[in-house]
Chain A
Amino acid sequence: MSTRRIALTVNGTRHEAEAPVRQHLGDFLRGTLGLTGTHLGCEHGVCGACTVLLDGRAIRACLVLAVQAEDRAVTTVEGLAPSPEALHPLQAAFCANHGLQCGFCTPGMLTTLEEFLRDCPDPTEEEVRVAISGNLCRCTGYDSIVAATMEAARAMREAAA
């Protein structure tokens, strides 16, 4: 099978590894780099669970080939927290607001919302709902995710002030 050696930065760390050219980024992150925080649900771009940041933008890791991430910077859910001791404000707010139950959609929700709050630090609830429209959650009914996001946005605005 055709493979290619690629170098990329994941969560600030430089990695070099062999990737089959047909392998999508999600499988590469999980299988080759062992970063299993990125979840794979549908693998055809519908569920949003595999969302990661590619050069700061939220993308579906199942719809990008690993070889396309050559020389690019990827951030996964493992890279969101500022330190091993502290949670990202979104993670803390999800925890406090029951923003997750089974947790399968959570990595995709968090990475999607991290980009969204950078662009839109003071969103309305409606804007949050549109922002997560590409992420399926079968547990929460979304209300607690929206509440958590509003709280995280407040906390991040206060921290920046």
Chain B
Amino acid sequence: MKAAPFAYHDPRSVEEALHLLATLENARLLAGGQSLMPMLNMRVAFPDHLIDLNRVEGLAGVTAEGGALRIGAMTRQRDIEESPLVRAHLPLMSEALTHVGHRQTRNRGTIGGSLCNLDPSAELVAVATALDAVLEVQGPSGARDLSIHELPLGFMTPSLAPEEMLTAIRIPLPPAGHGAAFEEFARRHGDYAITSAAAVLVLEGGRIARASLTLGGVGAGPLRLRSAEAALAGQAPSEALLREAAAACGSIDAMSDPQAPAWYRRRLAATLARRALTAAASRATTPARQGGLA
């Protein structure tokens, strides 16, 4: 359980990191290391060069910017969990983070690492999908924005070029008073979820103005349930309506693996979606939080 030899680089700037990434053969970026380090120790990953981002300036922190929260790619999961800005404006993310690994792994693990590792069960991937996150990506030809919906190319395969890196995540803020909830089922607390559900409901005049429903862990990537969202829009959030929308999750195309067969995931999905939608609806009807961003 020892990593194979590699050359170690610890750049101090994004420019330096990008230069190394573009010029070194078989290089991997090291973020929080909570997935890559086990892969190195188990010799599942064999990079010739490890480019450690932990000393790069300016990649960590949560800031409010024009109707969005901007979270640096190297922001630790624990810092996001405890961020007052995230708690106030993105309660879905705070709630989901309590399910991510354990205190010791959240102290190191980063949001950028989670998104680029792109495990289909990863809570942050589902949350970013539910909240329509925009990823700031830098490469040799400059910076570009990438929608989270265009990130997954397939199982654990992000649509980043080999010489590109994720530098920040921007999440447009749902309106104050929205309701959000995250539900998951895992064998043990902190395990990757067998299935998870993230729901966001925006109510206006007692009706659902906007709905977002995402499942994690059911397939190769996160699954946004656009048809269920459309069925919810414009309706009053009755128990029957939410139950019916969640029931649609029972007919999704789910995967089977040694942990659980597809039919089990479909049943979990319907149940977790109903719980998430119900909790989101009850939270949305509570008085709106005061104020927006300063």
Contact = CB atoms under 8 A, between A and B. Distances in A.
Whether A associates with B in a native complex is yes
Interface of A: 1-2, 4, 21-24, 27, 42-46, 48, 51, 54, 57-60, 62-65, 67-68, 112, 115-116, 130-131, 133-134
Given A22-B5, A134-B190, A45 B10 contact: no
Contacts of A63: 33-34, 37-38, 105, 108
A65 B189 CA distance: 26
| B-side interface mostly | loop
A26 to B, nearest CB: 10
A18 to B, nearest CB: 14
A82 B146 CA distance: 51
B41 interface: yes
Interface residues of B, number: 30
Interface string B82-107: 00000000000000000001111101
B104 A112 contact: yes
B97 to A, nearest CB: 13
Nearest to B6: A22
Contacts of B4: 22
B105 A64 contact: no
B189 A130 contact: yes
Contact of B41 (A2, A24, A51): A24
Contact of A44 (B38, B52, B188, B190): B38
Q: Which residue, B38, B50, B190, has most C-beta atoms of chain A within 10 A?
A: B38
A134 B7 contact: no
Most A-side CB within 10 Å, residue of B103, B108, B188: B103
B33 A67 contact: no
Given A44-B41, A68-B54, A60 B108 contact: yes
Given A67-B10, A68-B52, A133-B190, A48 B5 contact: no
Nearest to B102: A134
Nearest to A46: B38
A134 B8 contact: no
Given A22-B5, A42-B1, A44-B1, A62 B41 contact: yes
A23 B189 CA distance: 30
A133 B102 contact: yes
28 contacts: A2-B7, A21-B8, A22-B3, A22-B6, A22-B40, A27-B2, A43-B41, A45-B34, A45-B38, A46-B38, A48-B102, A57-B78, A59-B104, A59-B107, A60-B34, A62-B37, A62-B41, A63-B38, A65-B33, A65-B52, A67-B10, A68-B52, A68-B54, A112-B103, A130-B189, A133-B188, A133-B189, A133-B190
A60 B6 CA distance: 21
B42 interface: yes
B1 A43 contact: yes
Nearest to B36: A63
B108 A64 contact: yes
Contacts of A44: 1, 37-38, 41-42
Contact of A59 (B7, B108, B190): B108
A134 B3 contact: no
A141 to B, nearest CB: 15
B103 A134 contact: yes
Nearest to A134: B102
Contacts of B2: 22-24, 27, 43
B245 to A, nearest CB: 31
Contacts of A54: 107
